[in-house]
Amino acid sequence: MGTVFWGGFMWLIVWRSQEPSINNLYMSLLFGFLSGLGLSLEVLYYSRKLKITSSWAEWLKEHDLAE
């Protein structure tokens, strides 16, 4: 969610006053991809560090939150 906000903020402040450009689109897509990759690697790192190996469904069952 933070990357969506940041991308929208960049467009509002920086690119709104410029002519539409395919380069801006490519930069936005690259930024979104790299930000998502970074966030997923961070989640993977902390899940291994904290030894959280169960799936989301198993976690819900363990904490009595399953449907």
Q: In this structure, what token pair is assigned to residue 48?
A: 């291994």
- For the whole prediction, is pTM greater than 0.75? no
30 occurs within a structural domain: yes
Average pLDDT, the chain: 79
Map 12-47 to HEC letters. Answer: HHHHCCCCCCHHHHHHHHHHHHHHHHHHHHHHHHHH
Contact 32, 3 (CB under 8 A): yes
Query: What mean pLDDT do residues 19-39 have?
Result: 81
Q: Is residue 1 predicted with pLDDT exceeding 60?
A: no
Contact 66, 60 (CB under 8 A): yes
67 occurs within a structural domain: no
Q: How many domains does the chain have?
A: 1
The distance in angstroms from the start CA to the end CA of the chain is: 26
Domain coverage including residue 19:
2-62
From 28, 35, 26, 27, select the one nearest 3 (Cα to Cα).
35
15 occurs within a structural domain: yes
Q: Is residue 67 predicted with pLDDT exceeding 80?
A: no
